[in-house]
Structures are given as structure tokens and as C-alpha cells.
A and B are shown apart, each in its own frame.
Chain A
Amino acid sequence: MIQAFYTASAGMQAQQKNIDVISNNISNVNTPGYRIKRAEFQELLDFQTGKNNERVTTGYGTKIANITTMSLPDDINPLGMEIVGEGYFAVEDENGNRSYTKNGDFIKLERNGAYYLATKNNDYVLDVNNNRIQIDNNIQQALVSNGLLYPQGNNGEEGIRLAIYKFDSVEGLAMKNKDQYIETEYSSKPYLSTTSSVNSNYYDELAPLAMANQISEITRVVQTQMAYQLNSKTLQIVDEMAGMANHLRY
């Protein structure tokens, strides 16, 4: 009888902790790179041995077993970059064939023990001097400031300016594959843009994600509130029952 008091209060305490976790998530929606935390509940069980040596279990509430830090979804690319202004990134394949792209969804490509900034189909990204860009293997995220990329982690090295080319008539470009183009006789010669620069779009990609999380967090707030309410209702009913037992004889 009295057990249900503690069961309900254990339930309320766990929901309270859950609300703490959720409110922390909500207050961090705009924190770049913040990872959502999630409380994991677990049933509390009591064990007794029954008369035939079987295990008799009694549940007496719930507890928060773990607070997990969720990983960022796979489609977030920390090495992603975007062009501010007009123009195309210059990339080249293994044989030096040049093409142009606007897709800044770059990866780290390993060649002979060195790592290069490359597109997803393994074309090297070029800087203004048409050199491939070597990147330190420990770099997890594109460090860009004032349009300069610091591929070694900004430890005093000089920033690299990525090549951004413009064409007088982009209609003349020929399509190489789904997001890469090559110059043709109709597109005019490419020339380096002086006004456009690059920026990391890592945080931009996080923005819609944070928005989506905000919605799911609010849903969880409602769920938690519901569960809390229900547990307190239990407590109230158990209290009334205890009152009845006390008033058996008046």
C-alpha cells in the first residue's frame, strides 16, 4: 500500500530531472555545436525469491539511468564551406583536369600519407596559386576567418585564400557531373574574383537543426509535464486511500 507513495514520488523526481535536461537543451538552441542531451529512464525493480525459487519482481518506480549526449547527424559537414558573393571553387582531379563547382561540401582526402581538402568525388580544391591545399589530419572543422582558411589549425601559419573564379558568361559552361562544370570556348576565360570570399557554413547548417530540435524539445516538455501530472495524481489517490484506511474507525 505505502509502496505506491514512493513509486509515484520516484516517478515525479525522475520527470523533474528530465525537465532539467530538456531546459538545458532549449537554452542552448543557439549555441553553435551544442549537442542535445537526453535522459534515459530505467525501471526500478525489487527482487524476491518466490516459493518455487522463481524470481518475483516488483517495480517500484523509475530512475534516470543515464544522460546521453547525442551525436550530430551525419549530414552535418564541419569542413563545409560556402562562397560569399559570386563565383566558383576551382578543383582538379588526380591528372590535373580542372573543373569548377559551387558545392562547398568538402572532405579530407588521404593521398600518400598527406591529407588534402577535396570534394566528395575526390577532386582537390585549389588555392589562388593553383596549389592543392594540404590539411592537418587533426583538423575536424574548417577554420575560416576573413575569407582565409587556416588548414593547420591557425597556429601562426599563413592563411590560405581559396581560388574563386568568375566567368563572363556562365551559360557557356559545360556540365561535367551533377555539380561540377568545365570551361568551354563559349564561357570566356575564368578570372579570379576579387570581391568574393569563402566562409565556413558549418554553423549555418546547424541553424535549421537547432530549429528542429527546438520543436522536438517542446514536445518532450509536454510529455514530461503529462507524466509529472499523472504521477502527482497517483500520489493524491494513494493519499486518499491511506486516509480511508485511517478512518476505518472513527
Chain B
Amino acid sequence: MLRSIQGVAYSMQVQADRINVTANNIANINTRAYKKDVVNIKSFDDVLARAVNYDTGELINNVGAINFGSSIDQRRTDFEQGYLGQTGYNTDLAIRGDGFFTIETPDGIQYTRAGNFGIDQDGYLVTQDGDYVLGEKGRIYLPERTIKVNMQGDVSSVLQNQETLFLDKLQIAYFNDLKQLQKAENGNYLNPVGANLTNQGKSEILQEYLENSNVNMVKETQDMLDAKRNYESCQQVIKMLDDTIGKASNEIGKV
């Protein structure tokens, strides 16, 4: 009996963890290019229950498999494309496809899909944290502080005499296995397994667009209500088990 209470209590904890993740997705619904987290739930390993003779220790028969509840297996990031919204500012870039912008930070190379860039006082293309956006030749210097990017990711500047000067091509990174990517503090991604990079992949760069988060409001609300109802059921079961134990301990033998 007490064991079943514990199993249900684990399940309550799992539902609470689900709410934590959903709440974080909802909080980041307006974060540029935010990728939602999804939880996978697993049950504890099954154990085989056996009936044995107490006196001799002899096996009578196998009762069957039981398990003691569930836990969070893993949290993974869903890299589904977020929808692209037009902003009208030419330092805003969005990727349609599966690539990532390559960023040079004080902590090394990182990757991001949030293209809300800016031009710093020295004329370099930078992220919101002031980290450099990399082209194939390195940091991207914009001599006239104007930027034009085509679908292939070629960056050019419009000079004062209206001529376009080609500067560099954006360094777009592709990965063999997106699951290997880890989130960094600033919303960028790290590639701890260095060999994960590949040149297989297709992307289009859209200027004056930004990628929005891929959080689906309806899905998250549904998830949250689902978790809440599961939580409620578990609570009811615990109450019921508690009542049953109460009966066993107080009412057996009562005249």
C-alpha cells in the first residue's frame, strides 16, 4: 500500500516537472528564434514479483511485472522552424532552413538562429550581446554602416555613390545531429562535440525578417491543462489510498 502511494507521488512530481518546462516555453513565446523544450517521460524499470514460500524460501510462482512509477527521461529541444515575421529593419536576418549563424564570443564559437543583429560603433555586424557575427572570411566589417544580404547569404554594403560592394558570405553552420547542441547562457547554442559540423544542409537568408519562437500557444496550454488534470488525478488516488490505509488500520477488528 505504501509503495503504491510512493509510485503515485513520483507521478505527481513528473507532472510538476512538465509544468515547469511548459511555463518556460510560455515565458519565452516572444523570445527571438526560441526553440521549445519537450519532456519525455519514462516508467521505472519493471521488476519481477515472485511468490515464495516463507518457511523454505522456495519459489511458488512468478506473480508478474510491477513498476513503481515514472520519471522524466530527458528534456530535448525541438528545432522546428519558427514562423518568420517581417520587421522592415535591414539588420534583421532570418534563416529559412536548417542552418545556424556562427558567432564569435569571448567563450569561443557559438551558434544562433536569432538574427536580430546590430552594427557596433566600429562598424562590425554584432549580436545583441555585442558578439561578432562571422562570415567565411571572419568578422564582418561594414564600411558604410549599410548592409544588404541576399538569399544566399552574401553580405554587401551600399556605398555613398549608390554602388554595392560585396564584402563576405555569412558563415552558416549545419549539424549532423541537432541533439548534440547545448543551450548557452545567452540563448546561443554550443557544439561540444566538435566533429558534429557538416556541409549538408539548405538555408535561405531573409533580410528584414526575424524568426519567432516555435512555441505553439494552443499546444502549450493544452499540455499545461493536461499536466494539471493528471496531477489532480494522482492527488485523488493518493487520498483514496490514504483512506484505504486508514480503514485498514482503524476499522479492522472494530465491532
- Interface residue ranges, A against B (CB under 8 Å): 1, 3-4, 7-8, 10-11, 14-15, 18, 38, 40-43, 45, 47, 55, 57-62, 65-66, 68, 70-71, 73-74, 107-108, 120, 122, 212, 216, 223-224, 226-227, 230-231, 233-234, 237-238, 240-241, 244-245, 247-249
| Residue of B whose beta carbon sits closest to that of A122 | B161
Do B231 and A244 have beta carbons less than 8 Å apart?
yes
Question: Nearest Cβ in chain B — how far from A216, in angstroms?
Answer: 8
Q: Please indicate which of the listed interface residues A1, A14, A61, A233 has the most CB atoms of chain B within 10 Å of its own CB.
A: A1
How long is the Cα–Cα vector from A4 to B184 in the complex, in angstroms?
Answer: 21
How long is the Cα–Cα vector from A15 to B118 in the complex, in angstroms?
Answer: 22
Question: Nearest Cβ in chain A — how far from B157, in angstroms?
Answer: 11
How long is the Cα–Cα vector from A241 to B239 in the complex, in angstroms?
Answer: 15
| Residue of B whose beta carbon sits closest to that of A66 | B128
Told that A3-B23, A216-B87, A249-B242 touch, could you supply 12 new A-B pairs with CB distance under 8 A? A4-B20, A8-B27, A18-B30, A40-B128, A43-B24, A43-B187, A58-B24, A65-B186, A233-B221, A234-B22, A241-B16, A248-B239
A-B contact count (CB 8 A): 145
Q: A42-B31, A212-B88, A249-B242 are in contact. Are A4 and B19 (CB under 8 A)?
A: yes
How long is the Cα–Cα vector from A10 to B26 in the complex, in angstroms?
Answer: 11
- Interface residue ranges, B against A (CB under 8 Å): 12-13, 15-17, 19-32, 34, 37, 87-91, 116, 118, 128-129, 146, 158, 160-162, 182-187, 192, 217, 220-221, 224-225, 228, 231-232, 235, 238-239, 242
Q: A7-B23, A73-B89, A73-B90 are in contact. Are A227 and B228 (CB under 8 A)?
A: no
By Cβ-Cβ distance, the 7 closest A-B pairs, closest first, are A11-B27, A59-B24, A1-B16, A4-B23, A41-B31, A7-B23, A61-B27
Do B225 and A245 have beta carbons less than 8 Å apart?
no
Contact for B26 among A1, A8, A122, CB less than 8 A: A8
Do A57 and B182 have beta carbons less than 8 Å apart?
yes
How long is the Cα–Cα vector from A216 to B88 in the complex, in angstroms?
Answer: 10
Q: A59-B21, A71-B91, A238-B19 are in contact. Are A41 and B224 (CB under 8 A)?
A: no
Q: Which residues of B contact A74 (CB under 8 A)?
A: 90, 146, 158
Do A62 and B90 have beta carbons less than 8 Å apart?
no
How long is the Cα–Cα vector from A248 to B235 in the complex, in angstroms?
Answer: 6
How long is the Cα–Cα vector from A62 to B89 in the complex, in angstroms?
Answer: 24
Q: Which residues of B contact A8 (CB under 8 A)?
A: 23, 26-27
| Residue of A whose beta carbon sits closest to that of B86 | A216
Q: Which residues of B contact A15 (CB under 8 A)?
A: 30
How long is the Cα–Cα vector from A11 to B116 in the complex, in angstroms?
Answer: 20
How long is the Cα–Cα vector from A212 to B32 in the complex, in angstroms?
Answer: 22
Q: Which residues of B contact A238 (CB under 8 A)?
A: 19, 23
| Residue of B whose beta carbon sits closest to that of A60 | B24
Q: A7-B20, A71-B91 are in contact. Are A231 and B232 (CB under 8 A)?
A: no
Do B24 and A61 have beta carbons less than 8 Å apart?
yes
Q: Which residues of B contact A241 (CB under 8 A)?
A: 15-16, 19, 228, 231
